[in-house]
C-alpha cells in the first residue's frame, strides 16, 4: 500500500494535467467551438468514462435483441486490437482478427444485423449508411464511443461497474477515468452494472445518492446471468451445450480468460467445480503458439477424465482462429456466454424508453 501511495503521488500531476485537457475539450464541444455531427436516424451510444470492463458488449447485445425484430439495426465499433485499420464492413469472410473479438462475437450471434468497425466514428456512420441501402438502416448502435464527441448521439447510455463506480475513481494515469466525472451529465441513461442479483432497494438508493444524477437522467441496475457452457468447436462427437448445473463438483476446470475483469466469471465456475485453476491473459489477447501449447500442457497434467477448459465467449472468438489448436484438443474446450438482466423490474421501463426513442426519432413502425 505504501508503494501504491508513492506511485499515485508521482502520477497525480499527470492526472491533473490530463483532467484539465479533457475539461477544455468538453467545454469546446459544449460551446460548439468543436463540431459534433448528428444524423437523420437514431444513434444510440453505449459507453463509459472509465477504462476497463463495464459490460458494454452484453448491454449492446441486449439492445440488439430488443431492436432487431422491429428495425434494421447496425453496430459500429472501433474494433479494439484488430489487425486492420480504417473502415471495414463485416461481410461473410471477416474474422475476429480483422474486426476485433467483440464485434465478431456480435456479428456471429446476430448475423441479420449490419456491423462495421472504424476508429473515426463520423466516417464510419457515413460509410454504413452508404453500404446498407436494402433495407435502409433504422438505428445505429455505437459501441464504446462516449468520448467520441464528434458524433452527437440521439441517446447516450453510460455504464459504470458497481464494484468500481466512476464517482470513487480518479483521472488517468492515477486512476481509470477517461474524463472528469462531470462527463456523466451527457448521459440520458446511466446503468450500474455487475450488481448482485439480490441487491436491496436500500443499497440501490445509496448508489443513486452518490451518483447525484441530473433531473431527467434515468438510472437502472443490471446483473450478469450465466446459463450454460457451449462448445468452442461444435461437433456431433461431443456435447455442444452443458448446463452449469450439470457440472459435477468433481469436474476439473482450467479457466482461460483474456478479459478486463475475470473474477466474477471465475467465482461463478467455482460454484460448480471445487477444482478450478485459472490462467489470466490481458484483455483482447491473441494467443501465441507457445501460449496455446502451455494451456494444453497444463490441461494434460490434470489427473482426471472429467475435465474441461472453459473460457469467455470473446476469448473463444479468437481461439477459434488459432492454427495451433489440433482436432484432438478441440473436444474439451468450452466457453461461458453471459447476458444481462435488469433489477427492480427495470427491464420494461428501459425497453420502453429505448423503443419510444427509436420510434419517435425514426417515424417508422
Which CATH number goes with the domain that contains 25?
3.40.50
- pLDDT average, residue stretch 315-332: 88
**CA Rg, the chain, in Å?**
21
Residue 94 lies in a domain: no
Q: What confidence score (pLDDT) does residue 140 get?
A: 98
Is residue 13 one of the residues assigned to a domain? yes
| pLDDT of 77 higher than 90 | yes
**Is the torsion defined by CA of 187, 189, 194, 196 positive or negative?**
positive
Mean pLDDT of 149-176: 94
Is the pLDDT confidence value at 212 over 80?
yes
| % of the chain residues with pLDDT over 90 | 69
Same-domain status, 200 and 156? yes
With respect to residue 254, please indicate whether it lies within any of the assigned structural domains.
Answer: yes
Residue 86: per-residue pLDDT: 95
What's the total number of domains in the chain? 2
Give the pLDDT confidence score for residue 132 in this predicted structure: 92
Q: Indicate if 143 and 26 belong to the same structural domain.
A: yes
State the Cα–Cα distance between residues 48 and 184, nearest whole angstrom: 9
In a shared domain, residues 203 and 283: no
Eight-class DSSP state of 226 = E
The answer on 324 and 216 residing in a single domain is: no
257 and 234 in a common domain: yes
Confidence (pLDDT) at 214 = 96
92 inside domain: no
Is residue 236 helix, strand or coil? coil
Evaluate if residue 364 carries a pLDDT over 50.
Answer: no
Residue 6's pLDDT is what? 63
Residue 99 lies in a domain: no
Summarize the confidence of residues 191-213 as an average pLDDT.
Answer: 96
Residue from 74, 53, 69, 47 nearest 314 by CA: 53
Strand order in the sheet with 218-226: 88-89, 114-117, 73-77, 139-143, 43-47, 155-161, 189-193, 218-226, 338-342
- The answer to pTM > 0.85 is yes
pLDDT at position 2:
55
- Reported as a pLDDT band with limits 50, 70 and 90, residue 5 is low
Element (H, E) at 280: strand 275-280
- Res. 4: pLDDT tops 80: no
Segments forming the whole domain that contains residue 288: 228-336
Distances (CA, A) of 41 to 47, 135, 351: 19, 14, 18
The mean pLDDT of 328-352, rounded to a whole number, is: 94
Q: Are residues 209 and 238 in the same domain?
A: no
3-state secondary structure of 276: strand
Q: Which pLDDT score, from 0 to 100, does residue 365 have?
A: 38
Residue 161 belongs to some domain of the structure: yes
Let me know if residue 332 belongs to a domain.
yes
Same-domain pairing of 150 and 59: yes
What is the spatial order of strands in the sheet that 333-336 belongs to? 241-243, 228-231, 333-336, 307-312, 252-257, 275-280
Q: Is the pLDDT of residue 8 over 80?
A: no
To the nearest whole number, what is the mean pLDDT of the chain?
A: 91
User: Which of 28-37, 117-126, 231-240 comes out lowest in average pLDDT?
Assistant: 231-240
State the pLDDT at residue 248. Answer: 75
331 and 248 in a single domain? The answer is yes
Residues in Cβ contact with 280 at an 8 Å cutoff, skipping those fewer than 6 apart: 257, 258, 262
Within a domain: 112: no
User: Do 192 and 219 lie in a common domain?
Assistant: yes
Amino acid at each position: 500500500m505504501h508503494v501504491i501511495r508513492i506511485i499515485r503521488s508521482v502520477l497525480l500531476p499527470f492526472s491533473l494535467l490530463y483532467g484539465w485537457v479533457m475539461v477544455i475539450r468538453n467545454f469546446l464541444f459544449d460551446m460548439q467551438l468543436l463540431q459534433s455531427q448528428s444524423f437523420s436516424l437514431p444513434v444510440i451510444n453505449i459507453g463509459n468514462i472509465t477504462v476497463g470492463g463495464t459490460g458494454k458488449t452484453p448491454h449492446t447485445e441486449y439492445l440488439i435483441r430488443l431492436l432487431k425484430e422491429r428495425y434494421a439495426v447496425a453496430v459500429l465499433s472501433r474494433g479494439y486490437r484488430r489487425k486492420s485499420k480504417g473502415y471495414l464492413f463485416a461481410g461473410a469472410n471477416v474474422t475476429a482478427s480483422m474486426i476485433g473479438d467483440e464485434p465478431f462475437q456480435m456479428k456471429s450471434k446476430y448475423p441479420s444485423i449490419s456491423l462495421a468497425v472504424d476508429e473515426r466514428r463520423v466516417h464510419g456512420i457515413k460509410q454504413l449508411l452508404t453500404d446498407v441501402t436494402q433495407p435502409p438502416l433504422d438505428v445505429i448502435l455505437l459501441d464504446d464511443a462516449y468520448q467520441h464527441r464528434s458524433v452527437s448521439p440521439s441517446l447516450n447510455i453510460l455504464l459504470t461497474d458497481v464494484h468500481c463506480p466512476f464517482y470513487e475513481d480518479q483521472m488517468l494515469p492515477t486512476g481509470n477515468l477517461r474524463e472528469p466525472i462531470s462527463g456523466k451529465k451527457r448521459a440520458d441513461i446511466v446503468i450500474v452494472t455487475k450488481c448482485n442479483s439480490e441487491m436491496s432497494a436500500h443499497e440501490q438508493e445509496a448508489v443513486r445518492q452518490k451518483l447525484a444524477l441530473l433531473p431527467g437522467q434515468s438510472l437502472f441496475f443490471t446483473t450478469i446471468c450465466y446459463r450454460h457452457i457451449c462448445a468452442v468447436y461444435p461437433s456431433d462427437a461431443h456435447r455442444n451445450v452443458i448446463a452449469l448445473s450439470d457440472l459435477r463438483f468433481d469436474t476439473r476446470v482450467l479457466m482461460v480468460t483474456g478479459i478486463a475483469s475475470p473474477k466474477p466469471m471465475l467465482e461463478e465456475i467455482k460454484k460448480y467445480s471445487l477444482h478450478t485453476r485459472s490462467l489470466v491473459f490481458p484483455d483482447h489477447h491473441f494467443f501465441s503458439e507457445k501460449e496455446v501449447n502451455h494451456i494444453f500442457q497444463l490441461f494434460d497434467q490434470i489427473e482426471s477424465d472429467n475435465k474441461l477448459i472453459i473460457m469467455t465467449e470473446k476469448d473463444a472468438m479468437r481461439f477459434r482462429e488459432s492454427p495451433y489448436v489440433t482436432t484432438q484438443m478441440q473436444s474439451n474446450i468450452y466457453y461461458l456466454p453471459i447476458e444481462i438482466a435488469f433489477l427492480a423490474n427495470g427491464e420494461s421501463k428501459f425497453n420502453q424508453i429505448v423503443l419510444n426513442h427509436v420510434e419517435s426519432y425514426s417515424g417508422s413502425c
